[in-house]
Chain A
Amino acid sequence: MTLLKAEGITKSFRTGDIDTLVLKGVNLVLEPGEMVALSGPSGSGKSTLLNILGLLMQPSDGALSFMDKPMSGLTDKQLSAIRNTHYGFVFQFHHLLPDFTAMENVAFPAAAPAGGISAEIRDRAKMLLGRVDLTDRIDFAAMRLSGGQKQRVAIARALMNKPELVLADEPTGSLDRENSARVMALLREINHEDRTSFLISTHDPEIAKCCDRQINVVDGRIA
């Protein structure tokens, strides 16, 4: 089974009368358990590609399949359900919900569809926070955590629903060197232990080196 397959993906944005072609026929395959770096300079189309692969944006053209199932023609509700159960997201800025605790933030993706934080959800959220070394911050409000801690909470949240694929957009972009290294080590560990696939968008060669393989995006194409 192929985890993710993109064929001839194009994406253009219209500003006034001008069409800007950002992706120009991208082909890409991701296998289960792979940790892949998506690298390239700023403006190369990495983030747009990541959004399309993460089902957050529709391509202008091309075909996308996830776990061998075509993703075209699905409703917003169906796409949301797939994102919730099979995907995890980590962004450059943690984007935690500031009015909730670390545990609640981690539990959120499972609690919302379930209608509440059950004992099972709570236990898993606590286990994940322990895994990212934040056991002592479980009941801390998200806004009281440091930058590195917030990003680790975001990683734990991405893993809450045991996703097959985690998409990370510059996950260390807002962190210092020490925290960057810690986060990458954590992602690698999760990849090894859980066989969770990672697609990490980065322009940092050091981060790219940590991955199994590297895909370069240059001017909207895979180089």
Chain B
Amino acid sequence: MLFALRVAFRYLTANRVQSGLLIGGVALSVIVFVFMTALIRGLALFLTVQTTGQIAHVEMEPPRRIAEVMGPDARFAAQPISTFQRQQIRNWQLMVDQAEQLDHVVAVVPEVNGNGFLVRGTAVAPIALQGIDPSQIDAIIPLSKSIIDGSADLSTGGLLIGAELAEDLGLRAGVPVILRSDRGIERLIPVTGIFRIGLSNVDRRVAYLSIAVARPLLALPNGVTSVSIKLDDPALAPLIAEQLKRQLPLKVTAWQEKNRNLETALESQGRTGNFIQAFALIAIMISIASALLLTSVRRRGEIGIMRSFGISRGFVASVFVFQGVIIGLAGSLIGSALGYRLCLFLSEGITGPDGGPLLPIAPAEGGYVLVIVLTVVGSAISAILPAQAAARLDPVEAIQQ
């Protein structure tokens, strides 16, 4: 076998231009493979980071309880009516302590949430109120970094609102506004800061305020409505959620459950990438098979003479398979190295208008081991056809030609 490898290597080095072109072709396809893999994985990573950077990774809420408002005898009612009871986590401090014990948990934020309206003159805008501890202002969303007017300091008893909401109501930092909660409680509160995080539903709908200010407004003196958890690795959210579900009598949801569309989009994108990768691999296999078939035709005489002095069909076939493997290995190594350099250049060398990378490419995620293994195996498989053709040559015919 070693001698077959040596013969294969000699055949390839004997025709350096053809071998060089062939290896170059394989390397080019590998570059496409690496680039697409790094781009698709980079894009997935970018979208995931963008999404998970601005949401809680795990959310704990009270279990749902349906309260019977009407009596069991429905004959006197037009419709049997149900509604959700006011739900809260009463012993939340215990839950927070337990959640904080878990690995990968970086922040646990108890929240008092509700709905309300901001009223300014005749203008009224619906809002989602989020009451949080002022010291945990950046624990879930990096709000401080997103402030475009005023400050993110909620300890003064003010309100943080999104830029779109501020535009709708003509508000700016320092201006007081009437906040009316869904419990019918009204209070005049100054706008402490205005943020823009880039998510329209947050920038237009959400208002943050201190948990101490939110409690009386939402008539929740003790409990909290939810507990948000941030992890060091968002991918672990389902695992942590499962752990918490086992430990606590709460409804625990990982961010992936609430963002099914993102997951579906990433899966579709991944499938598209798989197709492109498969086509790149097929291109590699076809180019190797066709080149080796040509080689087997060109070397008919030599193969015939080898067969005449008793060299086995297996040896002849293995020479061609080894040629395929050498081409595949060299092409995939060169292509991987060049692909990595290209991805690195695109990710660090070219920046967009915002100063960030022009493409959300992840050079480390180019699937290098996968492409090398697939290319080498694919090259060996694509060499089988020419190898069989060479091994089946009739020595007499081959020598006469």
Show the binding face of A for B, using Cβ within 8 Å. 51, 54, 56-57, 76-77, 80-85, 87-89, 91, 95, 97-100, 108-109, 111-117, 157-158
Contacts and interface: CB of A to CB of B under 8 A. Distances in A.
A116 B6 contact: yes
A111 B396 contact: no
Contacts of A115: 1-3
A173 B313 CA distance: 29
| Interface SS, B side | helix
Contacts of A97: 302, 305-306
Nearest to B301: A95
Contacts of B76: none
B313 to A, nearest CB: 7
B10 A85 contact: no
Given A51-B396, A99-B10, A100-B10, A109 B310 contact: yes
Interface of B: 1-4, 6-7, 10-11, 14, 301-302, 304-313, 315, 395-396, 399
Contact of A83 (B3, B4, B308, B399): B308
B309 A83 contact: yes
B127 to A, nearest CB: 80
Nearest to B309: A109
Contact of B395 (A56, A82, A87, A157): A56
B310 A56 contact: no
Nearest to A114: B3
Contacts of A158: 309
Nearest to A109: B309
A84 B399 contact: no
Given A95-B305, A95-B399, A80 B311 contact: yes
Contacts of B304: 95
Sort A-B residue pairs by CB-CB distance and give the 8 closest, nearest first.
Answer: A84-B310, A83-B310, A99-B14, A95-B305, A109-B309, A80-B310, A116-B3, A112-B311
B223 to A, nearest CB: 79
Nearest to A104: B10
